[in-house]
Amino acid sequence: MKPAPFSHLAPTSVPEAVKMLGEHAPGARVLAGGQSLVPMMNFRLARPTVLVDLNRVADLAYIRDDGDHLAIGAMTRERTIENSDLVRQACPLLHDATLNIAHLPIRTRGTIGGSIANADPAAEYPATMLALDATLVAQSVRGERRIAAAEFFDGVLSTTLEPDEILTEIVVPKPPAGSGAAFVEISRRLGDFALAGVAAQITFDGNTVTDVRLAACGVGAGPVRLTNAEAAIRDNGLTEDALARAASAASAEVDPDGDVHATAAYRRKLAGVMTRRALVKVAERAGVSL
Amino acid sequence: MTEIRDVSVTVNGEVRTGRAEPRMLLADFLRDELRLTGTHVGCEHGVCGACTVIIDGEAARSCLMFAIQADGAKINTIEGLATDGEMHALQKLFSEHRALQCGFCTPGVLMTAMDLVHSRDSLTADEIRNGMSAALCRCTGYEGIVNAVTKYANQIHGEGPADG
């Protein structure tokens, strides 16, 4: 099918963009990379009357090293993040997650801000934001608002962004030295939506775990922080026994729905399996023996 | 609501102008306005890859972009691969390795392969399979495609850095 008619606005600056969105909200939608919104428009599942297209806002595409954190413009393409040496070195989890997003031609257009603001429950970046304890910066004509990732996601395709707000920047704290990270997911075919995925970010002091953050995608209405699984690792370190406990805890603390691709029970099981695989990968990368 | 605008793109090195209302997809613009019907439209939601073209040097789905967004862009389509009636090296390899049958997906498969091979200095066998999984083919079972792309990658990467 083809999209319903709409008016297309193409601002070239953030102030211009927030002004346009403010004037046309709530019927307007923000268009980022278009890899989720355009399919929904093609199928007429979305019929915005106005699109505020951010693709000509050059100021929103950057990856900046700000010392203890990375600041990433919302319109930075996934392909740019994938190829960024700075991201690979300073935040390996973000690099790892990006490689799991769809296929290369989708990552050419898809943006980090678009993926996060779209808040698809199966998407990689929302769970990654939880695991990284990222801060999401929104702008509107009313000013700037900084939102913790834990306060940002609000159910299926839903966030706490106001209708006149645009997500403009993603602030990612750099994990300290001695950290290990991994993003793993499983799907029916490579590049498909994840049936379940887990982002793991762990800090070590030698072989001792000093901090652990785990978050899952595909197994709930939004990204899920796996706090019970985290506790199993925090209390016991990365041991075979702790991995088994963490996997059981993860399966128990998610609440997935079943669909044509996988039943709820299978997704619940996969949450545990992915948790274990992510932890094993972190241990391998950090040189920690289980 | 239905404001129709001029859209100019450089397609395969030639500046072309057409008319598009905002909702016209780039794929439809290429096919219906510019009469470049080599780009095929399959699923219209970015999954099948048949409509893949190269936009400013990188492969992307032309069904997930509006034509007006491409104004000023450089686009390479399947029509630009052959030169002076001579098939491109990748096309010859597809023929030799029986990497197509009905041919519907082939334009998108070829443009996907061009980006995959030319955007990297080297590719492992896994990376070729993973990369080519971006384009669906319902005839070949993929073996011919993987073999042809592998041969092409060897030609490009074996002879020094990628030139694209």
Does any CB of chain B come closer than 8 Å to the CB of residue A81? no
Single-letter amino acid code for the residue at B148: A
Residue B163 maps to a domain: no
Give the minimum alpha-carbon distance from A75 to chain B in angstroms, rounded to a whole number.
Answer: 15
Domain boundary among B18, B45, B80: B80
A173 touches A134 (CB < 8 A): yes
CA dist., res. A288 & res. A280, Å (int): 9
| Residue B2: per-residue pLDDT | 64
* Nearest in space to A106 (alpha carbons), one of B131, B67, B140: B131
| Residue A189: per-residue pLDDT | 87
Element (H, E) at B116: helix B106-118
Residue A2 maps to a domain: no
Same domain, A165 and A200: no
Q: Kindly determine whether residue A105 and residue B115, on different chains, have CB atoms separated by under 8 Å.
A: yes
Q: For B69-104, write each residue's pLDDT tens digit.
A: 999 999 999 999 999 999 999 999 999 999 999 999
| Residue B159: per-residue pLDDT | 53
Q: Kindly determine whether residue A51 and residue B69, on different chains, have CB atoms separated by under 8 Å.
A: no
Residues of B in contact with A120 (CB under 8 A): none
Domain boundary among A158, A173, A188: A173
Residue A40 maps to a domain: yes
Same domain, B76 and B12: yes
Taking the alpha carbons at both ends of chain B, their separation in whole angstroms is 40
Assign residue B35 the CATH number of its domain.
3.10.20.30
| Residue B160: per-residue pLDDT | 42
Give me the number of domains chain A comprises: 3
Nearest-CB residue to B2 (from A5, A35, A189): A5
Same domain, B115 and B49: no
Structure tokens at B7: 């859209």
Q: What is the mean pLDDT of each run of 10 residues along chain A (290 residues)?
A: 95 98 94 98 97 98 98 98 98 98 98 98 98 98 98 97 97 95 95 95 93 97 98 95 98 96 97 98 91
Residue B164 maps to a domain: no
Please state whether beta strands B5-11 and B74-76 pair in parallel, antiparallel, or not at all (unpaired): parallel
Same domain, B72 and B105: no
A272 touches A243 (CB < 8 A): no
Residues of B in contact with A1 (CB under 8 A): 44
CA dist., res. A6 & res. A50, Å (int): 5
| Residue B1: per-residue pLDDT | 52
| Residue A223: per-residue pLDDT | 98
CA dist., res. A289 & res. A4, Å (int): 56
| Residue A33: per-residue pLDDT | 98
Same domain, A161 and A91: yes
Residue B15 maps to a domain: yes
Q: For B136-151, write each residue's pLDDT tens digit.
A: 999 999 999 999 999 9
pLDDT of B163 higher than 90: no
Single-letter amino acid code for the residue at A107: R
Nearest-CB residue to B130 (from A1, A34, A190): A190
Same domain, A168 and A63: yes
Same domain, A167 and A217: no
Assign residue B111 the CATH number of its domain.
1.10.150.120
pLDDT of B26 higher than 60: yes
Please state whether beta strands A50-53 and A7-9 pair in parallel, antiparallel, or not at all (unpaired): parallel
Which residue range forms the structural domain that includes residue A201? 179-286
Which residue range forms the structural domain that includes residue B75? 5-80
Same domain, A156 and A212: no
Does any CB of chain B come closer than 8 Å to the CB of residue A188? no
Residues of B in contact with A104 (CB under 8 A): 59, 112, 115-116, 119, 131, 134
CA angle at B43 for the pair B38 and B48, rounded to the nearest 5°: 75
Assign residue A204 the CATH number of its domain.
3.30.390.50
Burial A264-284 (b: 16+ CB within 10 A, else e): eeebbbbbbbbbbbbbbbbbe
pTM: 0.96
| Residue B8: per-residue pLDDT | 98
Q: Kindly determine whether residue A5 and residue B131, on different chains, have CB atoms separated by under 8 Å.
A: no
| Residue A117: per-residue pLDDT | 98
Residue B136 maps to a domain: yes
| Residue A184: per-residue pLDDT | 98
Report the side by side order of strands in the sheet with A63-65.
A63-65, A69-73, A166-173, A135-140, A143-148
Residue B139 maps to a domain: yes
Residue A1 maps to a domain: no
Same domain, A69 and A15: no
Give the minimum alpha-carbon distance from B91 to chain A in angstroms, rounded to a whole number.
Answer: 20
Q: Which of B4, B47, B61, B114 to mutate to test the interface with A (most CBs of A within 10 A)?
A: B61
Q: Kindly determine whether residue A7 and residue B116, on different chains, have CB atoms separated by under 8 Å.
A: no
Give the minimum alpha-carbon distance from B111 to chain A in angstroms, rounded to a whole number.
Answer: 10
Determine the residue of chain A that is closest to B116 in CA distance: A104
Determine the residue of chain A that is closest to B71 in CA distance: A56
A175 touches A91 (CB < 8 A): yes
Residues of A in contact with B59 (CB under 8 A): 104-105, 108
Residues of A in contact with B115 (CB under 8 A): 104-105, 108
Residue A45 maps to a domain: yes
Residue B19 maps to a domain: yes
